[in-house]
């Protein structure tokens, strides 16, 4: 799982542990390969494939890994120095070169590769290679941006739903208020109609009361009349009062020339009486005679 030789487990460097690649694609440090060749063991420690080399220096150097190590400043002459090696993300192993961790990302072919793949199948001369950790950071940033964008989209959708719910609620409230105002207006119209109806009833009642008083007056006169001729005279007088009331108002106003309320002497049928004259609506009235019944024009005014 580290940038280290799988035989001695020491980290690769640019000296005795310089990384070299076998024809099978697996790589080991120069020191371990030299030891194996000197012992006559010329087979890969991983896949057991034989190779022909008289010295470790006859094998190709993995310059890409060496350059990456130099740029990353990871060089460890001490065995298992955990502070000077680069740990690779667990679970990322090359499927083509068993046991080799994936160190690089090929942007040209959009795939993760180990350093053997970088030498054999994805050489830097034809492929754009970057450290896999840099690609992880880049993808992590992209995922972070995408997550934030999705959160923003979700929040925007929630706000749209909330806005629509509030709009629907306000629309419903507006309709209810309009219906309530319509009912209030109808109630006001009903009240006004009832008031007018009551006023008409009151006017009718007042008219009936006046008629009742008029007939009561005739009845009283009838009771006080001693003979038929007197009764006929009283009926004629009452009829004259009704027929000539308007003419009497005009005659009375002209004869008195009254501009404000005052008392005058009125003689009728030999009876003299002091009455108050009232000006109302441009007309002249003497309310004390016959219970506010207007006098006929044959009444005589005494100045």
pLDDT in tens, 43-56: 988 888 899 888 98
Distance of CA 97 to the CA centre of its chain: 60
From residue 197, how far is each of 64, 186, 187, 204, 212 by CA, in Å?
108, 16, 15, 10, 22
Q: What is the mean pLDDT of residues 94-103?
A: 76
Average model confidence (pLDDT) across the chain:
73
Phi and psi at 258, nearest 5°, equal -85, 130
Topology of 19-127 in CATH?
A: Herpes Virus-1 (3.30.40)
The pLDDT of residue 134 is above 90? no
pLDDT for 84: 34
pLDDT for 178: 93
The pLDDT of residue 280 is above 70? no
Q: What is the pTM of this model?
A: 0.31
| pLDDT-derived band at 38, boundaries 50, 70, 90 | very high
Q: Is the distance from CB of 10 to CB of 4 less than 8 angstroms?
A: yes
pLDDT for 35: 92
End-to-end CA distance of the chain: 141
303 Cβ contact partners less than 8 Å away, ≥ 6 residues apart: 264, 265
The pLDDT of residue 233 is above 80? no
Q: Where are the alpha helices (DSSP H) in the chain?
A: 30-38, 63-72, 115-120, 132-224, 228-243, 245-256
The pLDDT of residue 19 is above 80? yes
Q: Where in the chain is the domain with CATH 3.30.40?
A: 19-127
pLDDT for 182: 92
pLDDT for 173: 92
Quote the CA–CA distance of 170 and 132 in Å, as a whole number.
56
Tell me the β-bridge partners of 187: none
Assigned token pair, 293: 């019944």
Exposed, middle or buried by CB within 10 Å (0-12, 13-18, 19+), for 4? buried
The pLDDT of residue 303 is above 90? no
112-116, 280-284, 288-292 — most confident range:
112-116
- State the DSSP H helix or E strand holding residue 277, giving kind and residue range, or none if neither: strand 271-280
* Residue in the structure block whose two tokens are 């030891």: 35
Quote the CA–CA distance of 42 and 49 in Å, as a whole number.
8
């Amino acid at each position: 799982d580290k940038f280290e030789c799988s035989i001695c487990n020491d980290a690769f460097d640019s000296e005795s542990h310089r990384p070299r690649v076998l024809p099978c694609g697996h790589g080991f440090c120069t020191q371990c390969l030299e030891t194996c060749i000197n012992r006559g063991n010329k087979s890969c420690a991983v896949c057991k494939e034989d190779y022909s080399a008289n010295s470790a220096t006859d094998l190709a150097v993995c310059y890409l890994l060496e350059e990456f190590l130099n740029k990353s400043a990871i060089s460890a002459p001490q065995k298992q120095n955990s502070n000077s090696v680069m740990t690779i993300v667990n679970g990322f192993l090359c499927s083509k070169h068993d046991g080799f961790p994936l160190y690089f990302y090929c942007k040209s072919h959009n795939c993760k590769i180990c350093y053997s793949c970088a030498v054999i199948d994805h050489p830097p001369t034809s492929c754009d290679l970057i450290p896999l950790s840099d690609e992880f950071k880049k993808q992590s940033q992209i995922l972070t941006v995408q997550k934030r964008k999705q959160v923003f989209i979700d929040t925007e959708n929630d706000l749209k739903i909330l806005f629509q719910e509030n709009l629907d609620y306000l629309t419903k409230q507006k309709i209810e208020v309009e219906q309530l105002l319509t009912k209030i207006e109808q109630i006001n119209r009903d009240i006004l109609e009832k008031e007018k109806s009551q006023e008409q009833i009151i006017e009718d009642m007042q008219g009936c009361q006046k008629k009742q008083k008029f007939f009561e007056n005739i009845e009283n006169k009838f009771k006080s009349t001693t003979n038929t001729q007197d009764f006929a005279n009283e009926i004629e007088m009452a009829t004259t009062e009704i027929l000539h009331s308007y003419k009497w108002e005009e005659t009375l106003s002209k004869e008195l020339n009254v501009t404000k309320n005052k008392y005058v002497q009125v003689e009728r049928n030999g009876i003299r009486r002091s009455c108050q004259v009232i000006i109302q609506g441009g007309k002249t009235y003497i309310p004390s005679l016959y219970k506010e019944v207007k006098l006929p024009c044959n009444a005589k005014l005494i100045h």
